[in-house]
Amino acid sequence: MGKLDGKTAYITGAGNGIGRALALKLASEGANVVVNDLEADPAMAVVEEITAMGRHAIAVPGSVTEDGFAERFIGAGVEKWNAIDIIVNNAGYTWDSLIGHMTDDQFDAMMDVHVKAPFRILRAAAGFIKGAATQEAEEGREVFRKVVNISSIAGTAGNMGQANYSSAKSAVLGLTKTLAKEWGRYKVNVNCIAFGYIETRLTQATDEKKTITVDGNEVGIGIPKKVAGGFASMVPLGRPGTPEEAADGVYLFCCPESNYVSGQTLIVGGGLTG
């Protein structure tokens, strides 16, 4: 018996890194998982991993910023399992520049993926959640649902070269606190995780120039090894976190033990807070 048996979880950006680790974690606790990634292959690979565990998952690939994506994403899980129990808004990336060189496109891209996309997904889920919660209340049942939005210590403390990303991740805090107030009557716990230095493909230490293409934009990934070493030395625990450790932090807000915790931001950063 897992703590999430019978629950259905929706995770964006779940084909790699923290999202993948979280999908496997929630599945291991019994949840059905709706797996999103920008590309179909990584999303399907995670579905196959979950299926191999004897659990259940479906893939809904595509960009979270696309018009209609939110309805398609939520609709797929509702059609399959007629349930919304956990939503984790994890998808995102960085596109850095000092403010004097930052373009409108760079700023808008961060707001679209980190703020507007979660807003749209939660809006798409609102009708189902309200209806289910109303029925449960009439039946005298108290059923808790979970929303976990992903922020960053760049959003809680700022970071050089990330006026766009920091602004977006700070906005996530406001979205979280507002939804905690709006959806408390529906027994929805809405919380936020702010990550510190977590080692993923986006933050890997490398002196090679690497890029990915997101929504038609070529975006650099990786951190120069010297810089990465400096970041690691700032972490009180002495190293970056793993995707699995990051996922464990998110899980804390997905499990029943957090049923009376809402509107909170937890920094998962090995002691690094800014």
pLDDT surpasses 70 at 150: yes
In angstroms, the CA 262 to CA 235 distance is: 27
The predicted model gives 28-51 an average pLDDT of 98
Sequence-distant (≥ 6) Cβ neighbours of residue 198 within 8 angstroms: 17, 18, 240, 241, 242, 243, 245, 246, 268
Element (H, E) at 176: helix 163-183
Pairing of strands 32-35, 57-59: parallel
Tens digits of residue pLDDT in 73-132: 999 999 999 999 999 999 999 999 999 999 999 999 999 999 999 999 999 999 999 999
Architecture of domain 8-200+241-268: 3-Layer(aba) Sandwich (3.40)
Q: What is the pLDDT of residue 248?
A: 97
What's the predicted TM-score (pTM) here? 0.94
Q: What rounded mean pLDDT belongs to the chain?
A: 94
Of 70, 68, 78, give the one whose Cα is nearest residue 36: 70
Tens digits of residue pLDDT in 49-64: 999 999 999 999 999 9
Tens digits of residue pLDDT in 6-30: 999 999 999 999 999 999 999 999 9
Q: What is the pLDDT of residue 207?
A: 65
pLDDT surpasses 70 at 270: yes
**Residues with catalytic function:** 165
In 10 A of CB 227, how many CB atoms? Answer: 12
Tens digits of residue pLDDT in 217-234: 777 766 677 676 777 888
Kindly list the domain boundaries of the chain, sorted by start residue.
8-200+241-268
Of 61, 14, 52, give the one whose Cα is nearest residue 33: 14
